Amino acid sequence: MPIRPISPELLVELLADRIAALPGAGTRRLRVAVDGAPAARPGELADALVEPLRLRGLPTLRVPAAGFLRPASVRLEYGKRDADAYHDLWLDDGALRREVLDPLEPGGSGRVLPSLRDPVTDRATRAPYTALAPGGVLLLDGALLLGRWLPLELTVHLALSAAALERRTAREERWTLPAFARYAAETVPAEEADLTVRFDDPRHPALVERA
């Protein structure tokens, strides 16, 4: 597949244009996910989309998937550094659907819980529900989001080579690398996503263009 180098600024504008061109944009609520390992910093790209979308008349709501981890008693059942548990158990995708994605279905209430549990303290955040107006866009970011049958209108995957992932992952987090190797092999996020961006160097991203 052709690879097109693109500046970070143009990437944000291209993604904002792509979201604004989705069916129902401006009238129904849209759900967009930016998927990537923590080393790719998907939250930064999601944050960068907020203002361009607002300028296109699309109010946004940011929700990090890290606010929807399962309780420590579940996700750490096999130890604090179990890569398979990190892949399979950490994200509470049921709560993410129930509290964030399903209310944005056509005819849904539009009331979203921005976070459920603090991943550091393992306590409920007690965040208030937030209403997303019709025509608004939910921007969800996080790792290992694809292949879970989450109801999303657009998915963007920030792809890192194995070497770049290891280089850019903090030493204390490198125990997660086998989880991302498994994700690449089993889910194949570069093919699963609607848009894939090669992100080995965030200063010089490259868009993977499908035929």
Residues 3-23: tens digit of each pLDDT: 899 999 999 999 999 999 999
Residues 156-203: tens digit of each pLDDT: 999 999 999 999 999 999 999 999 999 999 999 999 999 999 999 999
| Sign of the C-alpha dihedral computed for residues 55, 150, 42 and 211 taken in this order | negative
Exposure pattern of 70-82 as b/e (b: 16+ CB <10 Å)?
A: beeeebbeeeeeb
Residues 18-47: tens digit of each pLDDT: 999 999 999 999 999 999 999 999 999 999
Of 143, 197, 202, the C-alpha closest to 1 is 197
Any alpha helices (H) in 60-199, and if so which ranges?
A: 72-75, 83-88, 93-96, 162-168, 177-186, 189-192
Question: Residue 144 in 3-state DSSP?
Answer: coil
- Quote the pLDDT of residue 211: 56
